[in-house]
Amino acid sequence: MLEFRTRYKKKEVIIALGSESAGNFCIFKDGKIYHHGGFGNLLDSKNYSNFSNSIYLILKKDKLKPTVILADKHPLFLSGLLAEDIAKKYKAKLIKVQHHVAHIFAALGEDELINKKKIQNKIVGIACDGTGYGDDGSIWGGEVMTIDLKNKTYKRVGFLEPQTLAGGEQAIRQPARMLISILVKFLSKEKIYEIVKKYYQKNEFELLYNQIQQRFNCLSTTSTGRVLDSVAVLLGFFNKNNALKHEATAALADNATLPYALKPRIMQDEAGNDILSTTHLFKFLIANLYKDKKRLSATAQKYITEGLLVIAQKKSANIYAAGGIIDNKIIVDYFRANKVIVNNQFARGDNALAFGQMVYYLKIFC
């Protein structure tokens, strides 16, 4: 357990239940935040039982009656469903916090509570992550957000180009699916099959190709993790068709040297949001596949990092970055070199999400 003293003197008891893939929760009472982590993936029944029992045990032992429950916005996360049960049991207010906002506030919270820095009223947050349920119902993961602490608001102002996630969770386990959906934009069916035929029989590929073309059982995503997974498959650094979380991206990070020069291509949508083109990145990779693959790996990672930073720098010099993909060495080193603040003591991924949810509530609602 980690303990942090805050400047907030509210008498209420608040519980934040974090995410699903890395069980952790926070309790706020008497001006302090208590973080409990290390419960593992809550889809494992033993982990979930340990997680839920630990929360209820603390509430009973310390005779706590929570008034606010914080949870991830994803409607099906087990942590969120448990949050609903606790809120109902204690007649507490339930507040859903967007996944990547919580990541950014975890970095901000470390800077304030651990590093003892004064936080500016207007900051920008960059989220480089795998999967998070967005405010618009799509799957986010490569985001730039402006945060106004004085007016207690945040706004999504930039993101990676939306790509197609064919089959939802299946596309996370089979990163070649995402690669196909990106290549469909500029390559013929025959050329795409030549690239992915080691993963799929011809009839399987035909079904996937048609699914993507018809957008049947497909979601839109701006995920950094899914894009980098696809790069890992394209460059041959990941050859399995049953990936664990961040496994393909980690393989890409392990096989990277010096990047080639590739300037980020940034567009704007109708609402004025900045969009970093990832299709442009894949066109470059396809055109240069004969070159050093490890340099191409570094190029892809730097392209996304630099592009998101360019978007963020338009808004403010006070920039925080968070999310599980920040752990990649090229990404974190680039951000640090450009004076972007990242978590150094707290986890950058979901293991700190409950902490981020708690800091968000204290900053925005108190």
The predicted-structure confidence for 305-353, as pLDDT tens digits, reads as follows 999 999 999 998 899 999 999 999 999 999 999 999 999 988 999 999 9
Tens of pLDDT, residue by residue over 154-197, are 999 999 999 999 887 787 888 999 999 999 999 999 999 999 99
User: Quick check: helix, strand or coil at residue 312?
Assistant: helix
Give the pLDDT band of residue 217 (cuts 50, 70, 90).
confident
- Judged by DSSP in three states, 219 sits in strand
pLDDT of 240 higher than 80: no
pLDDT at 246 over 80: no
The CATH class that applies to domain 2-118+346-365 reads alpha beta
So what's the pLDDT on residue 61? 94
Percent of the residues in the chain that have a pLDDT greater than 70, as a whole number: 99
Phi, then psi, of 289 in degrees rounded to 5: -60, -20
Cβ atoms of 159 and 144 closer than 8 Å: yes
Question: Is 355 exposed, middle or buried (CB count within 10 Å of its CB: 0-12, 13-18, 19+)?
Answer: buried
Choosing among 3.40.640.10, 3.90.45.10, 3.30.750.24, 3.30.420.40, the CATH entry for 163-342 is 3.30.420.40
Work out the pLDDT band at 280, boundaries 50, 70, 90.
Answer: very high
Say if residue 242's pLDDT is above 80: no
Token pair recorded at residue 83: 């949050």
How far apart are the C-alpha atoms of 137 and 27, rounded to whole Å? 28
Q: Which helix (H) or strand (E) holds 290?
A: none
Which of left, alpha, beta for 171 (phi over 0: left; psi -120 to 50: alpha)? alpha
Tell me which residue of 262, 242, 246 sits closest to 254, measured CA to CA.
246
DSSP string, 39-92: ---TTSHHHHHHHHHHHHHHHHHTT---SEEEEES-TT-HHHHHHHHHHHHHTP
DSSP H helical ranges for 147-269? 169-173, 175-183, 189-196, 202-214, 224-235, 247-254
- What's the token pair of residue 70? 């914080």
How confident is residue 243, by pLDDT bands cut at 50, 70 and 90?
A: low
Average pLDDT over residues 283-308: 98
* pLDDT above 70 (res 1): yes
| CATH topology identical between 2-118+346-365 and 163-342 | yes
- Decide the pairing of beta strands 274-276 and 153-160: parallel
**pTM for the full predicted model:** 0.95
Which range among 73-87, 92-106, 197-211 shows the weakest confidence by mean pLDDT?
197-211
State the Cα–Cα distance between residues 139 and 113, nearest whole angstrom: 30
The domains of the chain are located at 2-118+346-365, 163-342
| Whether residue 63 has pLDDT greater than 90 | yes
Helix pair angle (247-254, 224-235), 10° resolution: 60
Q: Residue 191's pLDDT is what?
A: 97
Percent of the chain with pLDDT over 90: 87
In the Cβ-directed half-sphere of 53, how many Cα atoms lie within 13 Å?
A: 7
